[in-house]
Amino acid sequence: MHPISVAVVEDDARLRRTFVDVLESSTEFRCVGAFATGAEAMEGIPKLVPDVVIMDVNLPDTTGVECVKTLAPKLPGTQILMVTVYQDPDTTFQALAAGAHGYLVKPVLPERLLEAIREIRAGGVPMSRTIARKVIETFRSREAAEAAGTSAALSPAVSTDPAASTDDESLTPREQQVLELLVEGFSYKEISQRLGISTSTVGTYVQRIYEKLHVSSRREIMARRRPGRG
């Protein structure tokens, strides 16, 4: 099996070197490039086509989110893992909506960084526990506000049209279960054991959950929902 190729984008020279050393400490991974600025990363990474990119948010010449917006369309087979000090939900939403596949908060232990890279390659969405909790709290608050604001405006034509069903856009009961366990900090393995599903299936559910959390047309989805449907 070929090692997982990883590129690092981090403006702090010491931390950048640390990430490179962590990656090179295992034959499972291979660091193919390390960049200090967004311009360097956006020019060099498409030539390397790594499996994973470790991306900082705060760069001297741009933001990691802008880098993701540029790189993601060019590298559809590359997963991008944000590793940053920023813990606000808005930055997390922006990063994931731009195309990032995971979000970890510094400082990150070496073993957690490598675990997140494995997880992201397996189709999961690794997130620091504090970020996952804030994302869910923000999502629930927005959903409650939107539901309250749109329920009175639902017209009979919209509420009774079978084509208006948004089950595919909404969290399923199983996704809700996975979400609750994820927020509580359970690992993929622990979630799989509790729900009686494989760890790869857990990863698929998590990926779907976060894709749904960042749908830009959330208000439209909520407006099309039938009354009484969750």
Instruction: Give start-end residues of each CATH 1.10.10 domain in the chain.
Output: 130-224
What is the structure's pLDDT at 135?
66
What is the structure's pLDDT at 144?
66
Rounded to whole angstroms, the Cα distance separating 115 from 157 reads: 49
User: Is the Cβ–Cβ distance between 214 and 93 less than 8 Å?
Assistant: yes
User: Is the Cβ–Cβ distance between 165 and 226 less than 8 Å?
Assistant: yes
What is the structure's pLDDT at 70?
94
What is the structure's pLDDT at 215?
37
What is the structure's pLDDT at 194?
86
What is the structure's pLDDT at 169?
46
List the CATH code of the domain at 4-127: 3.40.50.2300
Non-local (6+) Cβ contacts of 100 within 8 A are 55, 65, 68, 72, 80, 81, 82
Amino acid at 8: V
Looking at domain 130-224, its CATH architecture is Orthogonal Bundle (1.10)
- Which of the residues in the chain have pLDDT under 50? 152-169, 215-230
What is the structure's pLDDT at 95?
86
Q: Would the pTM count as exceeding 0.75?
A: no
User: Is the Cβ–Cβ distance between 51 and 4 less than 8 Å?
Assistant: yes
